Amino acid sequence: MKGSSVTYSVWVWLWGVSLMLAGPMDLSAAEIGVDTAPGRTMAVQATKSYEQWTTSDHSKHAALKQAFTSGAQITEACLSCHSEAETQFHKTIHWTWDAGKNAKGVEMGKGQYSVNNFCISTNKGADKSCFSCHPSWNGERKVVNCLVCHGQKEVKWDEAFEDLNALKDQTDEGSKEIYAEILSQVQTAAQSIGRPTRKNCGTCHFYGGGGDGVKHGDLDSSMAMPNKALDVHMGTDGRNFECVRCHTTIQHQVAGRIYTAPAATERKSLIQDDLAPKITCESCHSATPHKPGHKANDHTDKVACQSCHIPTFARVNPTKMMWDWSQAGKLKDGKPYKEEDELGKDSYLSIKGAMRWEKHVKPEYFWFNGSIQSVTAKDVIDPGLTVAMSHPLGDREDPKSRIFPFKVHRGKQPYDKINKTVVGPLLSTEHGFWTTLNWQDAIQRGQNALGIPYSGQYDFISTTYVMPTTHMVAPRENVVSCTECHTRNGGRLASLAGFYMPGRDRLNILDSIGWLVVIGSLAGVCLHGLGRVFANGRNGKNGGNKGA
Amino acid sequence: MEHLVNIYLYTRYERFWHWFQMAVIVVLLVTGLEVHGLYSLFGFERAVWLHNTLGITWLVAFAFFVFWVFTSGEWRQYVPTTRKMFAMIRYYGYGIFKGEPHPVPKRKDAKHNPLQRLVYLSLAAFLLPVQMVSGMLYWGYNSWGTWGLSRLSLNWVAVVHMAGAFAIISFIIVHVYMTTTGHSISAHIKAMISGWESVPSDAAIEDWEKKAKKPEFVLQ
């Protein structure tokens, strides 16, 4: 019929107009697959040419064909070509553990006055166990160990060089054979050089805080060979990114550290400016990564990608969520002891106290501008409160702040009752708490090493420490659903107040009045109707509803 | 019993607009209340999408209605008046129970009684525009900065929009009930479907109820 087809065309047109006006609600967007969403297209553009290439085979370099008997010799060989590498590296935080001064002029960083609620302090280097992660040889902060990051073979260097020293003057054939074998292993390892792999970075960063998954909930040994479900970027069955794919490096300065300064000051896309460090999600995915019209694109100004795309952390290995130092020092039958939880992790260690481990942990959310404020051993704290050893900076009014997911580690740790400062007890070495189980002595030694006075009186305070959650990005099927935040009670963002969120917030008085009006209307018409039925019966048939 | 005659009261466009509007408003209410956190029906994401898409669609359709109401001269049906208003109030509060005749019978050029005029005018000129404007603002939340509205609070936009929703629900309840007050329970609904309404043939219509006469200076 002609008439109806005209009507149909009119409505198709009308629909079209409304959709054009709707813009972000464009229906046709639904037909565009997610794989062609602008964010994914941009990400592929920014990463597709990735192919590791090199013009150098280190096994052919004469400098590396030596019989190395010490780490320093290997480094010397590296520097014979890479003349500036050590100078560059000495300026990086990986070497200095120094993060510069904070607003109060206190030097920050692991090697300085920063403290946390894990192993608390490095005591300016006096706590030797911290050096298990320093990129140097023999636990001494002397010569850079290039192979920690660039070596592609796992070697126990300390043991190897010890054995070489012990065997070098031996004349028997057996010893000579072993000596030659170790020499050859060391040489092969020194020649196996490459860009840092996940394993290289993981050597330290998976074990931060003294064990697998202790510190970071989103970085543990499971990230050495993750599948896509664990990390969509690093998954070996997917994009297979190494850490350095995003943590780009200029003169050994590795991008992406979030601590006193944000990882990236600008949320720029690589497409806009290919000099931007490839460290924010937006660098590759743009600020509107979802298919056109998807509401999630409107969220990127307030909500970090990580908030939805990392639904839980510690998805394979447990992570430590609580560490109560005040329980440390107990003995069983006069000896230190340990207890294990159902996850197979230490729930009690005499040298460390009580600990709680968790898996599949939901993050906690805070406004975050990319910087974290942390307490130093010099700061005066309020022992009556839970002390935020570190806390994200940011505010919902700040256009650079986003709602960001964090692992919040809770602890109890010693402080100076009189000076009201967090103390850094010495833990390792023969005089450390781990050997003596004597707080008084360990604190005194630790404070001496830091050069900070100790009143002689300690007690324990409750603390929190935050770690931004940015790895373990889940595939899109597993992201946080809308209603996990947009819900009346118990949503993920229940603790973030001061703004209106649809589905979560309402003006209670309005809802009460509104429903009263609605119920009142219903009651009114019901009464009126009943009245008519009743009157109809009395007035006789048709009497009550005559007229129109 | 008086004699009834059929008159063609509602044009095809009017009827279409009425039912289209009804359908859209019902879905807007259902999805809106879901977004408000009352229940889970479509799923939050789908509810938001439906609500936004229908809201924008309705804006466009409303523009057509405004165009129609002015070009057809039907706006005159919505001019408010107090004449016979008290008779109407008395009728609904008393006369209807006594079986008294309706004080303002429908006619082609006087479709609405004074109460209807007032309610429909408030609806079309105030409540619905408030809903549309607050809805547009709500929808455009991310653009407030570029629109120069950064001082606006989403809280208050949401409150206004929600208050409007309650008013509309209340209107629907009363409006639907009023359809039963015709000469039969379903007479008014049938009329809004077919366009034909049965009215008493003997009912007199007063001049003021008719469409205003066209001004004389208009050339015909």
pLDDT of residue A492: 97
Contact A510 B162 (CB under 8 A): yes
Contact A301 B142 (CB under 8 A): yes
DSSP B102: P
Query: Which residues contact residue B142 at a Cβ distance below 8 angstroms, ignoring those fewer than 6 apart?
Result: A298, A301
Contact A22 B184 (CB under 8 A): no
Contact B37 A298 (CB under 8 A): no
pLDDT of residue B206: 56
Contact with chain B for residue A332, Cβ under 8 A? no
Q: Which residue has the higher pLDDT, A544 or A166?
A: A166
Q: What is the pLDDT of residues B112-153, one digit of tens each?
A: 877 888 888 899 889 999 999 999 999 999 899 899 998 899
Which whole number is the average pLDDT over A431-437?
96
Mutate to test the interface with A, among B17, B36, B137 (most CBs of A within 10 A): B36
Q: What is the pLDDT of residues B1-38, one digit of tens each?
A: 457 777 788 888 889 999 999 999 999 999 999 999 99
Contact with chain B for residue A504, Cβ under 8 A? yes
Contact B44 A518 (CB under 8 A): no
Contact A502 B92 (CB under 8 A): no
Contact A547 B183 (CB under 8 A): yes
The model's pTM? 0.85
Q: How far apart are CA A494 and CA A485, in angstroms?
A: 7
Which residue on chain A is closest to B175 by alpha carbon? A525
User: A135-152 as b/e, with b when 16 or more CB fall inside 10 Å?
Assistant: bbbeeeeebbbbbbbbbb
Contact B173 A506 (CB under 8 A): no
Interface ipTM = 0.85
CA distances from B24 to A147, A293, A513, B11, B130 (A): 67, 21, 25, 20, 16
Contact A121, A127 (CB under 8 A): yes
Contact A331, A350 (CB under 8 A): yes
| pLDDT reading at A8 higher than 80 | no
Query: Which residues contact residue A245 at a Cβ distance below 8 angstroms, ignoring those fewer than 6 apart?
Result: A47, A50, A233, A278
DSSP A80: H
Contact B174 A510 (CB under 8 A): no
pLDDT of residue A540: 52
Contact B180 A499 (CB under 8 A): no
Contact with chain A for residue B45, Cβ under 8 A? yes
- A-chain residues within 8 Å CB-CB of B59? 18, 21
Q: How far apart are CA A185 and CA A68, in angstroms?
A: 10
| pLDDT reading at B204 higher than 70 | no
What is the CB-side half-sphere exposure of residue A203 using CA atoms within 13 A? 20
pLDDT of residue B93: 84
Q: Write out residues 240-299 of A within 8 Å (CB-CB) of B.
A: 295, 298
Q: How near does any CA of chain B get to the CA of A267, in Å?
A: 17
Lowest mean pLDDT among A204-218, A250-264, A411-425: A250-264
pLDDT of residue B205: 56
Contact with chain A for residue B182, Cβ under 8 A? yes
pLDDT of residue A437: 96
Q: How near does any CA of chain B get to the CA of A233, in Å?
A: 26
- A-chain residues within 8 Å CB-CB of B142? 298, 301
Among the listed residues A304, A285, A208, the one whose alpha carbon sits nearest the alpha carbon of residue A246 = A285
Mutate to test the interface with B, among A25, A294, A506 (most CBs of B within 10 A): A25
**DSSP codes of every residue in A428-482:** SSTTSHHHH--HHHHHHHHHHHHT----S-EEEEEEEEEEE--S-PPPGGGSPPG
Of B44, B97, B169, the CB nearest to A531: B97
Q: Which residue has the higher pLDDT, A139 or A70?
A: A70
- A-chain residues within 8 Å CB-CB of B180? 529, 545
Q: What is the pLDDT of residues A478-510, one digit of tens each?
A: 999 999 999 999 999 999 999 999 999 999 999
